[in-house]
């Protein structure tokens, strides 16, 4: 059932919250329901009720006939836009403040009968060439309020659209009939699966940098700025992945009235995927450290080679400099001053001495 859901989500079909074709992670759509409300739908027995509803109408419809729930999706709402929704569902002011202002760590908090969950979304930024200023990983956030009969999702960032996810869920009424916790699980699964995709793309960049650092062709090499920038971008991914472990463990192991018991075992699967990507990211981080150290070592070796060449040539040049310096002191009694062949002899001695010095340095790999 879950595998079918994932296929449907990745396939992405037309719907009120998404576009046809493959999943569009930069989905900017907003609906006539309001400047921040992307979608508001009523579900009963896992089936979406027809028509468009405003939040007050939707929750009223559900509470008059128990057994369904409301899913409201918002994108970057202002305090004024979110105030009505917060009052309608009785959301805690602290959670509301976090949802409006964003920039939160992944976490799970419980306020009475409402769960407040924060996920960091990530997107791999395509680039023709990695530079010292390239953006590799772009992050956003999804906040989820989960109650007995409602789900409110608040998305921040230009990617991570939930439209295709909603459509995929609607193709599996049996799973969606389990209520708001089914939506919470589907979002968690979607976010973590995308972590794996981004980690794989980052690995390609790491392989490219590694090849450049250890290339045998002279003149090829990696700019330390490129390696450091890739490490910074990997840190963005790590900040999204690492803190999510504890919230998923809580959802998988702790009984909560807002979470259907059948859904809890699905969170264990998501937690396993998160552990996998967390291990990958930690490994990549250590690998980049090794690549950076290797690159710096290569730079040091190259500098040492340059210094040896400079030192060798300085030693060779020191011979004629010394001899010419001695003869330049203009003493009256100097060796071979009045001999016809004295000048050629001194030049010859200088050339022979320089030749043997040069030969010795070449044999020792200094030149």
Q: Which two tokens mark 99?
A: 């949802």
Hunting for tokens 């001899």 — which residue is that? 323
pLDDT in tens, 201-249: 999 988 888 888 877 544 445 678 888 888 888 998 999 999 999 999 9
pLDDT at residue 333, as a whole number:
66
Q: What share of the chain is helix, strand, coil (3-state, %, to 5)?
A: 55, 15, 30
* Length reported for the chain: 367
19-33, 168-182, 231-245, range with the lowest pLDDT: 19-33
pLDDT at residue 35, as a whole number:
52
Greatest mean pLDDT range, 21-25, 88-92, 215-219, 300-304 = 88-92
pLDDT at residue 219, as a whole number:
47
pLDDT in tens, 76-105: 888 888 888 899 899 999 999 999 988 889
Hunting for tokens 């967390």 — which residue is that? 278
Question: What average pLDDT does range 304-315 have in this prediction?
Answer: 83
pLDDT in tens, 45-67: 889 988 777 888 888 888 888 78
Separation between Cα atoms, residue 108 and residue 106, nearest integer Å: 7
367 in Cβ contact with 361 (< 8 Å): yes
Hunting for tokens 């896992």 — which residue is that? 46
Using CA atoms, how far residue 324 sits from 317, 341, 343, 350, in Å, is 11, 16, 11, 9
Backbone phi, then psi, for 170, in 5-degree steps?
-65, -20
Burial of residue 214 (number of CB atoms within 10 Å: 0-12, 13-18, 19+): middle
What element of type H or E holds 38?
strand 37-44
**HSE value, Cβ hemisphere, 13 Å, CA-based, for 311:** 10
Query: In this model, does residue 302 exceed pLDDT 80?
Result: no
pLDDT at residue 104, as a whole number:
87
DSSP-based three-state secondary structure for 137? strand
* pLDDT, averaged across the chain: 81
Q: Residue 21: CB partners within 8 Å, gap ≥ 6? A: 12
298 in Cβ contact with 213 (< 8 Å): yes
For the chain, list the domains and their CATH numbers: 2-297 (3.30.460.20), 301-363 (1.20.58.340)
Separation between Cα atoms, residue 117 and residue 126, nearest integer Å: 29
pTM over 0.85: no
DSSP-based three-state secondary structure for 15? strand
**HSE value, Cβ hemisphere, 13 Å, CA-based, for 185:** 28
Q: Are strands 68-75 and 47-48 parallel, antiparallel or unpaired?
A: unpaired
* Strands, E assignment, 55-212: 68-75, 107-111, 114-124, 137-146, 150-156
Q: Which two tokens mark 142?
A: 């999804």
């Amino acid at each position: 059932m879950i595998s079918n859901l994932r296929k449907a989500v990745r396939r992405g079909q037309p719907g009120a919250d998404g576009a046809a074709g493959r999943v569009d992670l930069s989905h900017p759509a907003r609906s006539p329901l309001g400047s921040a409300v992307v979608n508001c739908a009523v579900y009963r027995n896992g089936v979406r009720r027809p028509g468009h509803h405003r939040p007050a109408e939707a929750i009223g419809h559900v509470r008059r006939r128990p057994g369904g729930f409301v899913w409201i999706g918002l994108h970057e709402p202002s305090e004024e836009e979110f105030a009505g929704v917060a009052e309608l569902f009785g959301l805690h002011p602290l959670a509301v403040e976090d949802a409006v202002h964003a920039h939160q760590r992944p976490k799970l908090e419980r306020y009475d009968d409402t769960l407040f969950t924060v996920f960091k979304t990530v997107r791999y930024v395509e680039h023709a060439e990695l530079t010292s200023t390239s953006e590799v990983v772009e992050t956003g956030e999804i906040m989820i309020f989960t109650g007995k009969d409602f789900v409110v999702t608040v998305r921040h960032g230009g990617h991570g659209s939930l439209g295709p996810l909603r459509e995929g869920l609607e193709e599996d009424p049996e799973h969606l009939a389990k209520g708001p916790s089914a939506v919470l699980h589907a979002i968690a699964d979607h976010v973590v699966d995308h972590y794996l995709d981004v980690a794989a793309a980052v690995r390609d960049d790491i392989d490219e940098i590694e090849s450049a650092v250890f290339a045998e062709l002279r003149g090829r090499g990696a700019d330390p700025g490129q390696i450091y920038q890739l490490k910074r971008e990997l840190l963005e991914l790590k900040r999204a992945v690492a803190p999510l472990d504890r919230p998923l463990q809580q959802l998988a192991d702790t009984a909560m009235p807002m979470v259907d018991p059948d859904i809890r075992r699905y969170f264990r699967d998501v937690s396993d995927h998160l552990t996998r990507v967390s291990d990958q990211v930690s490994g990549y981080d250590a690998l980049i450290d090794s690549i950076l150290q290797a690159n710096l070592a290569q730079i040091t070796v190259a500098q040492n080679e340059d210094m040896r060449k400079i030192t060798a040539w300085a030693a060779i040049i020191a011979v004629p400099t010394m001899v010419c310096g001695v003869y330049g002191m203009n003493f009256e009694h100097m060796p071979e001053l009045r001999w016809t062949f004295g000048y050629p002899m001194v030049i010859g001695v200088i050339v022979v001495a320089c030749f043997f010095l040069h030969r010795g340095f070449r044999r020792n790999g200094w030149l």
